[in-house]
A and B are shown apart, each in its own frame.
Chain A
């Protein structure tokens, strides 16, 4: 533990304290639609921070770039436009919701640092394409960095802890970091790439126990082309399966991630594996629930689980709610904002829901 702490101390970074420009993810709003709104609510309502959620934002090109269909010049110019929007909002602290975007921005800024001519070229490209100018941000932080940074303050407001109400024992949580959060630029992360602390720090602060398992560092399986090219999807599933098998003996209560792709695939591939071969990774055939860090934070703050999108999961999340003792109404699970019942999703054959 002391050595881990030493690593964590070596990989610390500056995180802006207030005045953020938020860039929503392309895919999270369909994957886990409550997470981004929950983050904004936490920052504004619980922490009293200013954060601008600009409807004019757009892709960072990350998925296209990593799938080799968007050239880097285009990526740099599009990132520059996003910076320009931030400048227009009078802000200097950029907060990309997506881990892929976080990696892209760090890569772009690192490129400009080492090759200033690329920065100048990007300025010209953006000017020609949009007539816009831009300045680079003072600070880039992933939203999970910000939640980590304020974890002690948030703890004071929390109604619940990551503790099993019946046994009094800490919940066992598998934390999974998106590869592009720390594996490209370890120094831009909290805790580095090998023993990242960003999610572990939240879990420990809020009463849980982090599960260290052999395939902890392994990719979730998303891998862009692994998923986007249909012929490769078996490879994507195989990577996730490797992780599930490795974590299964530890009987984790849930999986926590900070990346859109990781949350999506570790959740949905459990359904796929269950349907393909009848395998599930818990004792009751229900699978291991997967939460985003915003969902976990919102849940512990006492937000209604159905308001933060916990019903939009393939592996059902009630087991966590029940273990912690969170007050919720099962009847409201599929009731929309208008109060109308939206209908229940079709039930899988093997995965128990």
Chain B
């Protein structure tokens, strides 16, 4: 046992992965998770892109690796204060519990964009307009049905909801929605091969391994129709369908389409915890994400000695990138603790 104690704020994929690396190197780790269970957003997922890996199996693997005698897990704990005191870090929870450590890893993750902020898309107002998060939940339940209990004969996916959007203040790309949307469209077509699936996009950013192939497969094998254009408004019709207005920018024509269900592929935003704790330590960067020393200098350290970052608290990342990021952050923490010994 090194005797050094690391506090990890966030028990999602980044926090669990980093904890398992650190624990195996004999560091004492405390994970603080605000929810009652660890796993972060993949708790809600059925599969992971691009290989349709079973999300819950992956999550179990993460939890198993983090089930280590050197790891103390505290769930249901919200952190509202993170301060440096000499070489130590002091954390205060909302029930006034104080925890100290030699280093802190911020793994506070992301929050899905609240689609209600795009008023014109009618989320929360009209039935059968759901988000990608809602869609995943339905997938886990094994069926996608409209509010009226019918199989959607025609479905539309809308990309970039709350991303690349000046109106919502989010000019950045959330990076994972394109491929995640393709995954969802394929999952839908596998459930209901006879149904029609439309996908509205700005451009398809298929920048990961096997992403482009997945995109092509969705068209060739599953018949998903891609339309380059954003949806300007969605409204309920008399017969409980959703009328969409858009523009097919490749054809240069306005387009009106009536569907049974609209799925809003919501972007990634900084989490409330990230904004709070990064703000307290002057490392709050663009769009409320936490800021490292720099993506090219050191993407894990911050301007505060002993405060490290991993995962989507920094920016939108895929699950695979998050896992790799957490491993690298763990190495940086070990280096730091060796140095301050």
Query: With a CB–CB cut-off of 8 A, which chain B residues contact A4?
Result: 125
**Any A CB within 8 A of the CB of B52:** no
- The interface bits of chain A over 187-222 (1 if a CB of B lies within 8 angstroms of the residue's CB, else 0) are 000001111000000000000000011111100000
Give the contacting residue for A213; candidates B116, B119, B233, B238; CB below 8 A.
Answer: B238
Q: Cβ of A3 and Cβ of B238 under 8 Å apart?
A: no
Q: Cβ of A195 and Cβ of B235 under 8 Å apart?
A: no
Within 8 A of A (CB), among B92-138: 116, 119-120, 123-125
**Any B CB within 8 A of the CB of A330:** no
When C-beta atoms are compared, the residue in chain A nearest to B243 turns out to be A214
Query: With a CB–CB cut-off of 8 A, which chain A residues contact B55?
Result: none
Give the contacting residue for A212; candidates B119, B123, B233, B236; CB below 8 A.
Answer: B236
**Any A CB within 8 A of the CB of B217:** no
Shortest C-beta distance, B114 to chain A (Å), equals 11
Q: Cβ of B116 and Cβ of A6 under 8 Å apart?
A: yes
Q: Cβ of A216 and Cβ of B235 under 8 Å apart?
A: yes
Q: Cβ of A194 and Cβ of B243 under 8 Å apart?
A: no
**Any B CB within 8 A of the CB of A250:** yes
Query: With a CB–CB cut-off of 8 A, which chain A residues contact B123?
Result: 3
Query: With a CB–CB cut-off of 8 A, which chain B residues contact A250?
Result: 238
State the majority secondary structure of interface residues on A. loop
Q: Cβ of A214 and Cβ of B236 under 8 Å apart?
A: yes
What CA separation (Å) do A352 and B276 show in the bound complex? 65
Query: With a CB–CB cut-off of 8 A, which chain A residues contact B233?
Result: 194, 217
Shortest C-beta distance, A135 to chain B (Å), equals 34
Q: A194-B119, A195-B119, A214-B243 are in contact. Are A3 and B236 (CB under 8 A)?
A: no
We find that the number of chain A residues with CB closer than 8 angstroms to chain B is: 17
- The interface bits of chain B over 220-252 (1 if a CB of A lies within 8 angstroms of the residue's CB, else 0) are 000000000000010111100001000000000
Q: Cβ of B236 and Cβ of A7 under 8 Å apart?
A: no
Within 8 A of B (CB), among A1-54: 2-4, 6-7
Q: A6-B116, A7-B119, A194-B119 are in contact. Are A214 and B237 (CB under 8 A)?
A: yes
Query: With a CB–CB cut-off of 8 A, which chain B residues contact A193?
Result: 119
When C-beta atoms are compared, the residue in chain A nearest to B235 turns out to be A214
Shortest C-beta distance, A226 to chain B (Å), equals 16
Query: With a CB–CB cut-off of 8 A, which chain A residues contact B243?
Result: 214
Query: With a CB–CB cut-off of 8 A, which chain B residues contact A7?
Result: 119
Shortest C-beta distance, B8 to chain A (Å), equals 35
Q: Cβ of B119 and Cβ of A192 under 8 Å apart?
A: yes
Shortest C-beta distance, B269 to chain A (Å), equals 18
When C-beta atoms are compared, the residue in chain B nearest to A7 turns out to be B119
Interface centre among A214, A215, A216, A249 (most CB of B within 10 A): A214
What CA separation (Å) do A3 and B236 show in the bound complex? 15
What CA separation (Å) do A213 and B236 show in the bound complex? 7
Give the contacting residue for B124; candidates A3, A215, A217; CB below 8 A.
Answer: A3
Q: Cβ of A3 and Cβ of B237 under 8 Å apart?
A: no
When C-beta atoms are compared, the residue in chain B nearest to A217 turns out to be B233
- The interface bits of chain A over 235-267 (1 if a CB of B lies within 8 angstroms of the residue's CB, else 0) are 000000000000001100000000000000000
Shortest C-beta distance, A323 to chain B (Å), equals 21
Query: With a CB–CB cut-off of 8 A, which chain A residues contact B237?
Result: 214
Shortest C-beta distance, B208 to chain A (Å), equals 35
- The interface bits of chain B over 247-267 (1 if a CB of A lies within 8 angstroms of the residue's CB, else 0) are 000000000000000000000
- The interface bits of chain A over 50-86 (1 if a CB of B lies within 8 angstroms of the residue's CB, else 0) are 0000000000000000000000000000000000000
Enumerate chain B interface residues (CB-CB to A < 8 A): 116, 119-120, 123-125, 233, 235-238, 243
Other than the given A3-B125, A213-B235, A213-B238, 12 more pairs (CB < 8 A) read: A2-B124, A3-B116, A193-B119, A194-B119, A212-B235, A214-B235, A214-B236, A214-B237, A215-B235, A216-B235, A217-B120, A217-B233
The 7 A-B pairs with the shortest beta carbon distances in the complex, nearest first, are: A3-B124, A194-B119, A249-B238, A214-B243, A214-B235, A194-B120, A3-B125
Enumerate chain A interface residues (CB-CB to B < 8 A): 2-4, 6-7, 192-195, 212-217, 249-250
Q: 16 interchain pairs (CB within 8 A)?
A: A2-B124, A3-B124, A4-B125, A193-B119, A194-B119, A194-B120, A194-B233, A195-B125, A212-B236, A213-B235, A214-B236, A214-B243, A215-B235, A217-B120, A217-B235, A250-B238
